[in-house]
């Protein structure tokens, strides 16, 4: 067991079943396979079962969990003699009374209660709830333990409305500036701005203001041939409004409206200034494990705003960017981190072979390292983000808090600026 990192170990007071479920549900994040999981579980259980046994047990758990979930929710009034009701108050609050099939945990879950009563959790807030056992017996199902659920809700003033946000965002900060295309000039250089693991929500615009100022100072230091932004890479801490990652893992919940607005202001100012200090500006979305949908939508909004900027919003895990004799590969690093060299050669072998400078940039670990593998510089980039709960619990702490900017000439890496 000592060969495995701490986050793969069974936690104190963690049951074997809970340990079993945690390993399989976080398999991609932990970058482990079924055989590693089997070794860990066999060690804890004192058994020698095959990986298929543990895998099938987990599959059965997923099946029955899904089955139970499908049975939960409001019961149709036609099925059971129960009088439902809804009251609407003058101040906009509403009271709902329904008969619901739910677990003990669901009784304490505001999001579940809102959904079961037919309310959108992004627009309504639960202010009060009361659940009483209401058993129902029939020949087909026997005795069902149901709950008479009464809740009071009010409109959520800070609910996230995409249309209203875009309308507000396009009226604020500054007007769209259409920069005429210019001919590439000899001697121009490339500035790469890969801001990985920003985690807006845990981090604010005010927290990153000094970072933004220093990036602007670098952008305005010369007229660049091209400025290349990599956007995504855990830009936002959550992938929705329920405090979960892209895979559904519960984490520290943040205010996504504020997180989105902070990220929007941060990037709009940078891209606008980049357009005025470069012949060409380019932005590429890079998918990650915290916010794949939200960050993609965010990048599409940037694309709609900056009509003269080239965007790549495809959802490929590994991407490549070529400028003169420079090749930059980039990926978040949550998948296939131990095979980056081989995977990028498979996807971009020709482009890499023709380049004088080949860099591969990843993030995810919130710490910095570099490895030269047969002329390919593979870098894990650090972040200036504050340490959130998940990374603190998993032991990703103690690293330098900083970002890196890369400056290239036509066939060389000229400088790395830490900010």
State the pLDDT at residue 396.
Answer: 64
Tell me what pLDDT residue 173 has: 47
Q: Compute the C-alpha angle 118/120/124, nearest 5°.
A: 105
60 with 192, same domain?
no
Residue 1 placed within a domain: no
In sequence order, what are the residues at sequence separation of 6 or more whose Cβ sits closer than 8 angstroms to the Cβ of residue 257? 158, 159, 160, 165
In a domain, 200, yes or no: yes
pLDDT on residue 326:
98
Same domain, 365 and 394: yes
pTM value > 0.75: no
- The conformational region for residue 299 under phi > 0 = left, psi -120 to 50 = alpha, else beta, is alpha
Q: Which domain holds residue 167?
A: 162-418
Tell whether 147 and 189 lie within a shared domain.
Answer: no
Domain co-membership, 318 together with 377: yes
**Quick one: 149 and 211 in the same domain?**
no
CATH of the domain at 379: 3.60.21.10
190 and 293 fall within a common domain: yes
Provide the residue count of the chain. 419
Q: What is the pLDDT of residue 1?
A: 44
Q: Are residues 231 and 363 in the same domain?
A: yes
CA within 13 Å, CB half, 24: 20
Please indicate, yes or no, whether residues 180 and 234 belong to a single structural domain of this protein: yes
65 and 78, same domain (yes or no): no
In a domain, 11, yes or no: yes
Residue 65 CB-density burial (10 A; 0-12 exposed, 13-18 middle, 19+ buried): exposed
Whose CA is closest to 97, among 119, 123, 66, 130? 130
**Sign of the CA dihedral 278, 280, 281, 286?**
negative
pLDDT digits (tens, 9 = 90+) for 233-282: 999 999 988 788 888 888 888 898 899 999 999 999 999 999 999 999 99
Residues 316 and 208 in one domain: yes
pLDDT at 49: 92
Do 168 and 142 share a structural domain? Answer: no
| 34-45 vs 16-25: helix crossing angle, rounded to 10 | 170
Q: Which residue has the tokens 């037919």?
A: 118
Tens-binned pLDDT, residue by residue, of the chain (419 aa): 457 888 898 988 888 988 999 999 888 888 899 999 999 999 999 999 999 999 999 988 887 677 666 655 555 555 566 788 899 987 788 999 988 877 777 888 888 899 889 898 777 888 999 988 876 554 444 445 678 899 999 887 545 555 555 565 555 544 444 444 444 444 489 999 999 999 999 999 999 999 999 999 999 999 999 999 999 999 999 998 878 888 888 888 889 889 999 999 999 999 999 999 999 999 999 999 999 999 999 999 999 999 999 999 999 999 999 999 999 999 999 888 888 999 999 999 999 999 999 999 999 988 899 999 999 999 999 999 998 776 676 666 667 899 999 999 999 999 999 99
Domain stop point among 129, 155, 181: 155
> Which of 71, 105, 126 is the last residue before a domain boundary?
71
Q: Are 51 and 80 found together in one domain?
A: no
Q: What is the pLDDT of residue 402?
A: 96
Of the residues 54, 71, 88, the one at which a domain ends = 71
In a domain, 109, yes or no: yes
Give the chain's domain count: 3
How many angstroms separate the CA atoms of 117 and 176, rounded? Answer: 43
Of 359, 306, 308, nearest in space to 190 by CA: 359
Retrieve residue 394's tokens. Answer: 């998993």
Contacts of 95 (CB under 8 A, 6+ apart): 85, 86, 87, 89, 150, 151, 152, 153
56 three-class SS: helix
């Amino acid at each position: 067991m000592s060969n495995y990192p701490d986050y793969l170990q069974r936690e104190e007071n963690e049951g074997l079943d809970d340990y079993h479920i945690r390993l399989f549900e976080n398999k991609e994040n932990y970058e482990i396979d079924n055989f590693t999981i089997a070794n860990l579980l066999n060690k804890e259980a004192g058994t020698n079962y095959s990986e298929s046994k543990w895998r099938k047990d987990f599959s059965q758990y997923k099946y029955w969990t899904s089955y139970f979930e499908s049975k939960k929710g409001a019961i149709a009034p036609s099925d059971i003699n129960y009088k439902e009701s809804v009251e609407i108050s003058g101040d906009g609050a509403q009271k709902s009374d329904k008969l619901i099939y739910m677990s003990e945990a669901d009784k304490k879950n505001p999001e579940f209660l809102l959904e079961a009563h037919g309310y959108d959790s992004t627009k309504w807030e639960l202010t009060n709830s009361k659940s009483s056992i209401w058993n129902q017996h029939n020949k087909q199902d026997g005795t069902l333990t149901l709950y008479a659920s009464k809740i009071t809700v009010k409109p959520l003033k800070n609910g996230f409305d995409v249309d209203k946000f875009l309308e507000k965002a396009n009226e604020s900060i500054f007007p769209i500036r259409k920069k005429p295309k210019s001919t590439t000039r000899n001697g121009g250089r490339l500035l790469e701005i890969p801001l990985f693991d920003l985690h807006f929500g845990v981090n604010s615009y005010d927290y990153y203001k000094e970072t933004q100022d220093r990036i602007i100072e670098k952008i305005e230091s010369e007229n660049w041939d091209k400025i290349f932004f990599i956007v995504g890479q855990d830009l936002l801490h959550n992938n929705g409004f329920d405090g979960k990652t892209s895979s559904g893992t519960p984490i520290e919940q943040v205010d996504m409206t504020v997180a989105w607005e902070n990220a929007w202001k941060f990037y709009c100012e940078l891209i606008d200034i980049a357009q005025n200090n470069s012949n060409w500006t380019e932005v590429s979305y890079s998918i990650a494990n915290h916010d794949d949908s939200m960050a993609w939508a965010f990048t599409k909004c940037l694309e709609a705003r900056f009509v003269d900027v080239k965007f790549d919003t495809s959802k490929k895990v590994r991407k490549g960017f070529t400028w003169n004799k420079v090749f930059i590969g980039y990926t978040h690093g949550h998948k296939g981190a131990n095979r980056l060299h081989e995977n990028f050669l498979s996807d971009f072998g020709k482009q890499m072979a023709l380049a004088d400078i080949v860099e591969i940039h990843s993030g995810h670990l919130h710490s910095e390292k570099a490895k030269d593998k047969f002329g390919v510089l593979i870098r894990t980039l650090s972040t200036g983000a504050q340490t959130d709960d998940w990374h603190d619990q998993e032991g990703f702490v103690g690293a330098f808090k900083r970002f890196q900017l890369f400056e290239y000439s036509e066939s060389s890496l000229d400088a790395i600026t830490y900010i």
